[in-house]
Amino acid sequence: MKDKLPRIVFMGTPEFAVPSLDALYKAGYPVAGVVTVPDKPAGRGLQLTLSPVKRYADDKGLTVLQPDSLKEDYFLEDLQALNGELFVVVAFRMLPEVVWSMPRLGTINLHASLLPQYRGAAPINRVLINGDSETGVTTFFIEKEIDTGNILKQARVPLTDDTLAGELHDTLMTLGAGLLLETIHEISEGTIKAIPQTEIIKPGILLKTAPKISREDGHINWHDPAHKIHNQVRGLSPVPGAWTQFLTDSGYSFGMKILETEIDPNAQWGFPGEVLFEKPNKLWIQTGSGSLRVKKLQQAGKKAMIIAEFLRGFREQILSAG
């Protein structure tokens, strides 16, 4: 079996990609090299920060390439020299055709949605913001158009009305690593079946997309109904976070991220954005339909707090959110 294992070049950057690389490494696949982003200065001291994938690769003594551009001749020459037979991509950038067409077995990607649904950069956030009841992970062959290649394997996971983006990220991170391992095993054995996405897309089925999250996506409109805001909050929790501006009785206005909420669908006691709180641990905000009880929040520059901690330390009267 060992003689049949393809030489793999792994491409990825964030924490989400590390369990996949770890699974391949521990399964004995020959990782010829790892491609990730260049080290970047960060923090007050502007010290160079390594991506999570780079840290893992360095710890295992793997060859690492960190190109500024994926089209530079020097990078393409170094990549070709790795003699990778299969490229594996997890949470990386869009690849030019000269890269994904290079290996003889092709280039596969792990995507955090049930393709063809939620093509794009933010599938974990968008599936929760839209209030879906199910999601999952997909492995597929990369082609020219982003997230449109032939599907190899999928794994599903149910969602509850209270699933948070951070929790779902961790669930799919682990689930995806296992699915990727199964996919590569079947590619190695020559038993994999690739299904064109056009065969899955049925007439009349709306394809939802997953564009990158903008700052405005996080701005809460308290005229929206409670369930829509609740989904917005959990779809962006803990980062980047849904946000609002609180206004106090002294005229002080400050930004606040709302990280966890609970719906009271029948409560209609004030205008949208009006705040009602009761110490030690209750704070409600009126919406366009129903109200939300805030359970966890975070002020800029401070740590996240459960509502009791916030109310204990805040002395002013909060009048409204907007």
Tokens of 181: 């391992």
Instruction: Read off the pLDDT band of 318 (50, 70, 90).
Output: confident
Longest CA–CA separation in the chain, Å: 73
Q: What is the DSSP string of 21-74?
A: HHHHHHTT--EEEEE-PPPEEETTTTEEE--HHHHHHHHHT--EE--S-TT-HH
pLDDT in tens, 159-169: 999 999 999 99
Quick check: 141 and 186 in contact, CB under 8 A? Answer: no
Q: 2.70.50.60, 3.40.50.720, 3.10.20.600, 3.40.50.170: which CATH number matches 2-200?
A: 3.40.50.170
Spell out the domain ranges in the chain: 2-200, 216-321
Residue 285 has pLDDT above 50, yes or no: yes
pLDDT in tens, 250-278: 888 999 999 999 998 767 778 999 998 87
pLDDT score recorded for residue 203: 86
Instruction: Read off the pLDDT band of 317 (50, 70, 90).
Output: confident
pLDDT score recorded for residue 320: 87
Quick check: 242 and 233 in contact, CB under 8 A? Answer: yes
Helical axes 165-189 vs 18-26, angle rounded to 10°: 30
Residue 3 has pLDDT above 90, yes or no: no
User: Collapsing DSSP states into helix, strand and coil, what is residue 277?
Assistant: strand
pLDDT score recorded for residue 161: 96
- Classify domain 216-321 by CATH number: 3.10.25.10
pLDDT score recorded for residue 44: 67
Question: Taking residues 165-180, what's their average pLDDT?
Answer: 98
Residue 129 has pLDDT above 50, yes or no: yes
pLDDT in tens, 187-235: 999 999 999 999 988 888 889 999 999 999 999 999 999 999 999 999 9
Indicate the pTM of the whole model. 0.94
pLDDT in tens, 96-112: 999 999 999 999 999 99
pLDDT score recorded for residue 268: 72
Question: Taking residues 171-181, what's their average pLDDT?
Answer: 98
Question: Taking residues 61-79, what's their average pLDDT?
Answer: 97
Q: Which of 185, 95, 201, 102 is nearest to 151 (CA)?
A: 201
Instruction: Give the residue with greater pLDDT, 320 vs 91.
Output: 91
pLDDT score recorded for residue 4: 79
Instruction: Read off the pLDDT band of 280 (50, 70, 90).
Output: confident
Average pLDDT score, the chain: 94
pLDDT score recorded for residue 278: 79
Tokens 């969602």 locate to 159
Instruction: Read off the pLDDT band of 76 (50, 70, 90).
Output: very high
Residue 1 has pLDDT above 50, yes or no: no
